[in-house]
Chain A
Amino acid sequence: MTGVETLSPVVSAVAAVLVLLGAGFALIGSFGLLRLPTFYERVHPPTMGTTLGIALVIGASMLVFSALESRPVLHELVIAVFAIVTTPVTYVLLLRAAIRREKAERPEHGASAR
């Protein structure tokens, strides 16, 4: 903890709220991944962590580093853009794989669908 104590009270309070909210969204998403009964329901909760969790923690990081270095620090936006671009791609690939595997297990539905 080198420079975090030197922040102004407003900046550190806002950063604390952002960090706690982001970690809370990631925790709720992972807990939903553990609790929900079927695979197609389990796909939804982790997206809370990949959207709002990443956005809030990155916002806190940008705020703290901008206040520490007294200039706007924006390079965390790379992670946000990367997550926004890649998360739908991976989930669509994974859901297509899951649908194809379930069709291959039930040949009567697979034959009627083809």
Chain B
Amino acid sequence: MSASLLGIALVAAPIMLAVAMGCAAARLIIGPRAQDRVLALDTMYVDAMLLILVFGIRDGSALYFEVAVVIAMLGFVSTAALAKFLLRGEVIE
């Protein structure tokens, strides 16, 4: 009975995370300033990482964990580089 509860949760959680990524993508498109778009991209990275983690729980496979780590690192590096670009006008001084 509660195993099916986990099955329902593992179907509902990716839908919720996909809607969250849709909200962040809408902000990425309409966001009036560049800093809004960088913030929306960072939020999309976090939501995508959570989605990969939920897929890993659903399949019972440890391979998804490495993908989540790589997405987290790429999200940090890209957001830091974009914020540095907005701050200075160039990434590497």
Contact = CB atoms under 8 A, between A and B. Distances in A.
A109 interface: no
Given A29-B20, A101-B34, 16 more contacts: A10-B2, A12-B5, A22-B50, A23-B54, A26-B50, A31-B23, A34-B24, A42-B36, A49-B20, A54-B46, A65-B62, A79-B53, A79-B69, A83-B46, A93-B83, A93-B84
A52 to B, nearest CB: 11
B83 A94 contact: yes
A64 B86 contact: no
Interface of A: 1-5, 7, 9-10, 12-13, 15-17, 19-20, 22-24, 26-27, 29-31, 33-34, 39, 42-43, 46, 49-50, 53-54, 57-58, 60-61, 64-65, 68, 75-76, 78-79, 82-83, 86, 89-90, 93-94, 96-98, 100-101
B26 A34 contact: yes
Interface residues of B, number: 55
A74 to B, nearest CB: 11
Contact of B57 (A31, A53, A61): A61
A1 B79 contact: no
Given A23-B16, A26-B16, A30-B20, A1 B59 contact: yes
